[in-house]
Amino acid sequence: MDRTLIANTTVLDGSGAAPFSADVLVEGQRIVAVQRGGGLPRDEARVIDGAGSTLMPGLIEPHGHVSYPDAPSNSAFTSLPPEEHVLITMRNAKTMLDCGYTSVLSGASAKPRLDIVIRNEINAGRLPGPRYLANGPEITVTGGLGDENELHLPHIETPTFAWVADGPDEVRKICRLLVREGTDLFKLNVSGHAGPPDSRADRAVMTDAEVAAAMEIAQASGVRVCAHARSADSVKMCVRHGLGIIYHANFADEEALDLLEANRDWCFVVPALGLSYQACYAGSDWGFTPEVVRARGLMKQLEVSIDTMGRMRKRGIRVLPGGDYGFAWNPHGTYARDLLLFVDVLGFTPMETLVAATRMGGEIMGRPTELGQIKPGFLADLLLVDGDPLTDIKRLQDRDALLVIMKDGRLHKSP
């Protein structure tokens, strides 16, 4: 069996424990030994010298959009021909792994089968990429986020990057279709976005019956559900229906926070700070001028989000980095900026941030006992980082600092 020994390294095991020096042995796809102080036998193993470096679990992105092509608008996603779109998605999957992200939970796919075929190719070992939970297109209501149909255009039934469903029967139909195609997740746009022109970030746009219909199909089919939910009522609706992967949650009020705290053993919040932050501070080349940012309420939305996430942190609600990368102003390859934002903007400690990106990442992937930590029996998804990401979290944005990237016990990058 293939054996790799990472010797004499500093282990940051993802659990939240202080780093310690150790040897770590990988056999096949799993970690089989973690020897504090070192001293594991080196025979019959490929030995990697980890001196001066930190060995940590691979990073986990819980709001990935591998098929989003760094385009400046949602309509540009739709107009991309499928041939080019597949190639772009393949490249993005490799980029995620090159950046140390060994697992991705997809927050939606730009075309119905893009996530699914790329996941299948990765799982078959034919394509480099992270472990991947595939999603379908965003499911939205008429006039909701992603409904970019225009009444005067001839093809109003052609799906955009979101699929429009009104009423529980239409939601069931789309969900069943996605199950048939092989999706791991559904994405519901439960609240509006930011306005104007779409000014419903502060309220739910889906009905209880529509959310319940998606949950009914999900539970019957073993599929999980995530939601775009910015408003307080949309967050409460998610929790009430057992929908535990909640994106944004900017306007969660005290009642929503109480509900999240009471259900924190199965609920996750992913603010997707990267996208909003970049729009507010670095998006002027793509139309997010200071005037537009103000007029659309984006700065207010970001400020509220920062306050809300701080309150969630104090309540012990799991808040995970992961930032909606795949737009022109928030491109692929910059994912680890979200870790810095957790520290600099949200006030999380570097340790809290890295636990959220590793151990809690394993939890949101649905594999808490085998993913996201360095322990015997866990899957060998590992990063060897030159230096110490706890004292300098920006190290994780530097691809040259990632000396070793291992997924499933196989080296994607060697020193």
Q: Residue numbers of the site for Zn ion (CB under 5 A)?
A: 107, 324
d(CA 93, CA 99): 10
Listed residue (118, 30, 3, 127) closest to 367, CA to CA: 30
d(CA 2, CA 45): 7
Listed residue (404, 337, 398) closest to 55, CA to CA: 404
Q: Given the complex with Zn ion, which of 230 and 236 has the nearer CB atom?
A: 230
Q: Given the complex with Zn ion, which of 12 and 108 has the nearer CB atom?
A: 108
In whole angstroms, the minimum distance from the beta carbon of 270 to Zn ion comes to 9
Tell me how many degrees the CA angle 142-71-84 measures, rounded to the nearest 5: 100
In this structure, how many other beta carbons lie within 10 angstroms of the beta carbon of residue 152?
5
372 DSSP assignment: S
d(CA 289, CA 285): 8
According to DSSP, the residues that pair with 131 across neighbouring strands are: 103
In whole angstroms, the minimum distance from the beta carbon of 269 to Zn ion comes to 14
In whole angstroms, the minimum distance from the beta carbon of 338 to Zn ion comes to 13
Q: Given the complex with Zn ion, which of 251 and 327 has the nearer CB atom?
A: 327
Tell me how many degrees the CA angle 397-395-348 measures, rounded to the nearest 5: 90
Q: Given the complex with Zn ion, which of 50 and 107 has the nearer CB atom?
A: 107
According to DSSP, the residues that pair with 140 across neighbouring strands are: 164
396 DSSP assignment: G
d(CA 124, CA 106): 18
In whole angstroms, the minimum distance from the beta carbon of 257 to Zn ion comes to 22
Q: Given the complex with Zn ion, which of 115 and 324 has the nearer CB atom?
A: 324
Q: Given the complex with Zn ion, which of 187 and 359 has the nearer CB atom?
A: 187
In whole angstroms, the minimum distance from the beta carbon of 326 to Zn ion comes to 8
- The rounded Cα 102 to chain-centroid distance in angstroms is 11
d(CA 60, CA 46): 26
**271's torsion region: left (phi>0), alpha (psi -120 to 50) or beta?**
alpha
Q: Given the complex with Zn ion, which of 272 and 403 has the nearer CB atom?
A: 272
In whole angstroms, the minimum distance from the beta carbon of 62 to Zn ion comes to 11
In whole angstroms, the minimum distance from the beta carbon of 205 to Zn ion comes to 16
In whole angstroms, the minimum distance from the beta carbon of 234 to Zn ion comes to 15
Question: Which structure tokens are listed for 404?
Answer: 């070793």
Q: Given the complex with Zn ion, which of 106 and 358 has the nearer CB atom?
A: 106
Residues 188 and 228: beta-carbon distance below 8 Å: yes
